[in-house]
Amino acid sequence: MARRFQLLIGACLLAAAALGAVRRPPPPADKNAPPLKSSAAVRRWMRGMTLRDEVAQLVFIPFYGASPNSRSREYRKFVRLIRDNKVGGLILVNWANGRTTQKAEPYALAAFLNRVQRLAKVPLLVSADFERGASMRVNDTTPFPHAMAFGAAGDPELARFEGEITAREARALGVHWIFYPVADVNNNPDNPVINNRSFGENPQAVAALVKAFIEGAHSDKKNYVLTTAKHFPGHGDTNVDTHLNLATIGADRDRLDRLELVPFRAAIDAGVDSIMTGHIAVPALAPPGLPATLAPQILTGLLRNDLGFKGLVVTDALEMGTIAKGYSSGDAAVRALEAGADALLMPADPDAAMKAVVTAVESGRLTRRRIQESVVKILAAKEKVGLDRKRAVDSETIGDVIDSPEANEKAQEVADRALTLVRNPGNLVPLAAPQNACYLVLAENRYSPEGQVFTDEIRKRLPKAAVATLDPGMTRAAMDDAVRRLSGCGSYVVAAFSSVAAYRGTIGLSGDLAQLVQSLKPVVLIALGNPYLLRNFPDVGAYMATFSTAPTSELAAVRALFGEIAIGGRLPVSIPPLAQPGEGIAVRATRTPDNLRNSQLQ
């Protein structure tokens, strides 16, 4: 009996020892290390944080800008991640509804953020991809065009103004951190994911616009937003959508210094608050096949040590295919922190990511101090935007800030000045007889609102205009039938929408739409978005690029067609082998809206 009792006690002790080996208490910060510099507010927020609490501060989860049903599973999960798991922040994304995306409504967004801020023990840092100003994610805000339109306009003061307005509108809505400007140099015309999100292909010109935007966003301390240069070390020379698969930059270090890194250096000099990593492999810097997001040689060796960047390093979304296909949520999170990242954006499984990082610290793979270094940076960023003083926004003042007439006028100026006439051998632009032209809108899908402004503005000027809208979902027979219904076409104006979209993998017109355009003559082709469409139509009668699908760009295109505004933009990219950077045909305005209304066109 005694022998059996001894064996039982021994078994219990062994089990306890085994459990202790598996689950050790969280290690304290290294007492021999110098103390982390932090403010009183940061120390107050960190007081009493467990290791898991600290890890949670590094995680940023997505939300859709409106409050879901409080009884829904989605909302309960969201509340748990904020109140119980204590994540550090949020990122606003568009809500996909079937084949369309829906933006947030400004007042609903502000109310939702005020609501969830009350759930958080430590204030939430709210972020968003405001690449075209807040209008990229929120309705009824200033509709700035894409970055490449600023490159075509060629005036850093316009980018500075965009930064100022974006900051003002973001803060009014409750957003503190914007993932912009794009510092990628788009020197690959086949790039399906950067394209017109970039300011252009000249690194010095891109750097000047990056710098100007950051300065504008930081110009009003009351409306200060955290800015982000992306996608480090440069995503411009790729032909792969990294939402789907890994892209590789084949440049050597010398080329990187001369081209890709130039805008990032300018951003750092301008005081950019954060830099977003790219899910791209750079064999000249790190092992082939290793995304920069997970590469210490790039995030620590190049960005921290060589370039001297001291701010926040945030990953691109960790749910993207490049990462999700090759790494679990937990492994990706740990590797990103090992590489030098501070903030983990959109892990596919936030719970698994946090658990893996905690385990990595407990096992000694990561140190507690390494986690705390990033926590201090994130909390300092929260203090920098005033979250230690106030976390809610005043919804009554939103209408006084967003979508102001002054900002709208300036956004329209950018779109107008960006218009670049690349080809016009027959002087088709401006239209000599707009009433004799037929107008085709090539939408990206039948549910898209793109083209509505263009069509409405044509009909304002020509109520009886022959207008048809086509989309890739139509059969070729249906397309041909729609064109046949147009009568008396002395010429054709084709407004072709082609924009960058995540997970699409390509950018351009579908085969049937492209063949249809080639069958029409004479054609004025307007590229709304992707400027490289000219490569598919080298002999088109006239070619004009807007560099954006924004409604301001639609209006600018119509005004230019009717001779109401001058055309003076310059290509910020090459369109090989047809056009070089800096090219553009200048055209004077020939009509004004007033004398147009009094003319016989109507």
93: nearest Cα among 121, 60, 70: 60
For 377-440, give the secondary structure using H, E and C: HHHHHHHHCCCCCCCCCCHHHHHHHCCCHHHHHHHHHHHHHHCEEEECCCCCCCCCCHHHEEEE
Determine the Cα–Cα distance for residues 556 and 146; give it in Å rounded to an integer.
14
Residue 512 designated active-site: no
Question: Which residue's entry shows tokens 């063949």?
Answer: 515
30 is catalytic: no
**Could you give the CA distance from residue 370 to residue 354 in angstroms, rounded to a whole number?**
15
How far is Cα 235 from Cα 227, in angstroms, rounded to an integer?
18
Amino acid 150 reads: F
Name the active-site residue from 146, 176, 235, 243.
Answer: 243
**Residue 67 in tokens:** 């409050």
Q: Which of 316, 403, 416, 471 is catalytic?
A: 316
Handedness of CA 8, 9, 15, 18 (dihedral sign): negative
Closest CA to 505 of 192, 257, 288: 192
End-to-end Cα, the chain, rounded Å: 109
Kindly state the tokens that stand for 390: 């106030």
Distance CA 313, CA 370 (A): 14
Angle at 345 between CA 549 and CA 76, to 5 degrees: 100
Q: Is the peptide bond prior to 577 cis by the omega test (within 30 degrees of 0)?
A: yes
The closest of 174, 300, 169, 175 to 233, measured between CA atoms, is 300
Q: Give catalytic residues, as residue numbers.
A: 243, 316
